[in-house]
Structure 1
């Protein structure tokens, strides 16, 4: 399974964090790091992990300006592309 999608999602979330302020910025930076960590692990995240974190990312995106939301949308697209490669559900 290619982890490139998770790395790209992390990058989009990092750029989204740069457009945010305060707690939203911190939470997006944390999500960016979580996806970067997931991309570097030997075994990738499962559907449940991906679903939980995608939900968090989407909620944070609602607090952003247009540029930030675009980065969040791009991150979600990359996460979904990775998710299609995960066996199971």
Structure 2
């Protein structure tokens, strides 16, 4: 099952990474990979996983500006949209 919102979040994080430099670029690329993987796993991520990784993404977004920052904000929005449908908490 593909979780469209997480796939879209991954795409936006990848685009944000293209506009970043150094360690921030690497970390955004890593988060993009994690969300792409989560989008296609048999069982989707739980609230705890989503919370941890959303926090990391938000912190990385604070280091950016312009279009890269907008991509991070859109990624967080897509993650939150997905999270609304996750049971629990």
Asked if residue 42 in structure 1 is aligned to residue 24 in structure 2, the reply is no
Asked if residue 63 in structure 1 is aligned to residue 27 in structure 2, the reply is no
SS of 2:35's partner is helix
SS of 1:43's partner is coil
Match of 1:5 in 2: 5
Q: Which runs of 5+ in 2 are unaligned?
A: none
- State the TM-score, normalized to the length of structure 1: 0.97
Runs of 4+ in 1 over 2 A off after TM superposition: none
Question: Are the aligned partners of 1:5 and 1:82 in contact in 2 as well (CA < 8 Å)?
Answer: yes
Question: Are the aligned partners of 1:8 and 1:78 in contact in 2 as well (CA < 8 Å)?
Answer: yes
Question: Are the aligned partners of 2:6 and 2:39 in contact in 1 as well (CA < 8 Å)?
Answer: yes
Counterparts of 1:2 and 1:39, CA distance in 2: 5
Counterparts of 1:11 and 1:61, CA distance in 2: 15
Counterparts of 1:2 and 1:41, CA distance in 2: 8
SS of 1:31's partner is helix
Count of paired positions: 89
- State the TM-score, normalized to the length of structure 2: 0.97
Following superposition, the deviation at residue 2 of structure 1 comes to 6.2
Match of 2:19 in 1: 19
